[in-house]
Structure 1
Amino acid sequence: MAHYFVTGTDTDVGKTCVAAALLSLARQAGLTTAAVKPVAAGCQFVTGRWVNDDALCLQAQCWPPLEYAAVNPVAFEAPIAPHIAAAEQGVSLSVTALAQASRAVLAQGADFAVVEGAGGWRVPLSDTETLAELAQVLALPVILVVGMRLGCINHALLSVEAIRRDGLHLAGWVANVVDPDTARLDANIDTLQRQIAAPCVGVVPYLTEPSPAALSAYLRLESLEPRV
């Protein structure tokens, strides 16, 4: 089994798109798949429950199918930091509870599975815990999605440093072009490839319709460590 924690250098860098594309690749290889988005902020009330578009995207790539509540156990309406959304609704978020929900899915034994964070590596869950601690408790290798835009080199290298300082293995990283007008894009990617001591799983160009199928053409599942 190959299970990973997917994080990003910031919010809106394409974590879900990349995670869903990796799941799609795994399915194309004949593997069973599973995904967890433990906490999502920015949801709509549909058929009696709060649902999140990112979680729905991940759910669509799970095989065998998973119930929505398994994929996204905690959902908030407002598209804001999870700890703020939780405080506004009088809800307590904890690493213990989110880890329990994540393990329930991972324990089903999918060949390839991802647990996707929210925002970047140090996003708070409360005044005392962060999502980084969830990755630590789950002890999963990490996939870092780098949003290629101005400032991405600093964000990427700081994220890599934090992941490793927290004792986790960086299994690979993805360069995802979120700003098509990024100056010296190739030079930025070359810099990251030289300075990040982990495999580059793919370079995804700016796509107007970033579907899992479209993104999967730019990713290499076999580059991840440990390999599937």
Structure 2
Amino acid sequence: MVKKTLVLLFFFTTFMVASQSTFVGGWLPKVNTSTKLSEKTKWVNSIEAREIIYNEDFQFTHSLVDVSSIFSFKTDLDQSVNVGYILRFKEGETIHRTLQHFNLVQNLNGIKLGHRLGFEQFFQSQVTPQYRTRYRATFQKALSGKKVDVKEWYVKLSNEYLYQFNKQDFEIRLAPYLGYQLSEKDKLEFGFDYRWGQVFDLIQNNSLWFRTTWYISL
């Protein structure tokens, strides 16, 4: 087992050294609101911007805005299904995205583990429709006690894998966050979102974003 691990590590190290990469950095501010429609149904809306601060050199450029509307249906005590629609406004173009997500949340002695399996479709004028699948695992824990109470901090770690079929683009995301429960109705999360795209290509994409998200329950 150790030998196999060393061989795999050597392979990826050699691959990374031989590859070229690009780097972009910036800020991802987001506001997320959720409304409970029934005991098993929730309506979630959000708006998120992407502001570039570094792209080959330091600069400040507005990149895009995503506006989303998602309905979440609880199918079991710890399971739910999301269906939604996202509008992306980027450089004068409008990109339409539909999504279907399956969510599973586990509470294990003060630790919240989340799993999300998703399928997404992208539609844009004069562009072939694009299709993507993604899997995300999250870990969340209160910094004091077994659950997050009002005026308390918590940590959250997210690891996600995405594959876009048309472009055969495989991407890995890693995001550590620090959260604060402002009240029973809202919380704030901030942290870094690192993305490693086109993993198996000779020229890879790297980006690092500072993300701030305000969650509001209406």
TM-score normalised over the length of structure 1: 0.30
Highest CA radius of gyration, 1 or 2? 2
Of Structure 1 and Structure 2, which has the larger fraction of its residues in strand? 2
In terms of fraction of residues, the more helix-rich structure is: 1
- Whose relative contact order is higher, 1 or 2, with alpha carbons under 8 Å and at least 6 apart? 1
